[in-house]
Amino acid sequence: MNTQKVQTAIELLRANSQGLRDRKSPFHLSASAMVFEGGKGIFIRHPYLHTILLPAGHVEPHEMPIDCAIREFTEETGLVLKTSPNSLIDVNIIDIPANPQKDEGAHQHLDFRYWFSSIEPHTKYRPELPVFQLKRREAPAEFQPYFALI
């Protein structure tokens, strides 16, 4: 992981510590999960941004980012993660456009991205979003470097 990204993340956390979990603030804390199965990454189609992304979401009050990544992965994909081993693989700042349906203005996410080794076999719940398993060359360019983990 890029040390400059980590330093930037630390500075943003310090500067925005009071509003990170407030959806009305200009800066939100989020977390996402990178998971591979059979050499393919598991992705979702975001319902508002209409693009292929990692399963992710807002970190709730009193929730750790890694717990958010686990929760959101299951909610959005209907699959259950094996929670270890896992590791923080990236930290990104993402510009999010305004969403009038949720009464949210344009804002930024500080997204903690975690890698999980696999999913639990024989677990499948109803996914909230369309789910895709993509090979490296099919995945959005921003996620292709993560395929080096497998």
Q: Domain segments of the chain: what residues? A: 3-149
Q: Which CATH code fits 3-149? A: 3.90.79.10
**Confidence label for 141 from pLDDT (cuts 50, 70 and 90):** very high
Of the candidates 33, 32, 13, the one whose C-alpha atom is nearest the C-alpha of residue 21 is 13
pTM of the predicted model, to two decimals? 0.86
Of the candidates 116, 46, 130, the one whose C-alpha atom is nearest the C-alpha of residue 87 is 116
Residue 55, helix vs strand vs coil: coil
6 token code pair: 């980590």
**Confidence label for 20 from pLDDT (cuts 50, 70 and 90):** low
List phi, psi (to 5°) of 38: 60, 35
Contact assessment for residue 114 and residue 149, using Cβ atoms and an 8 Å cutoff: no
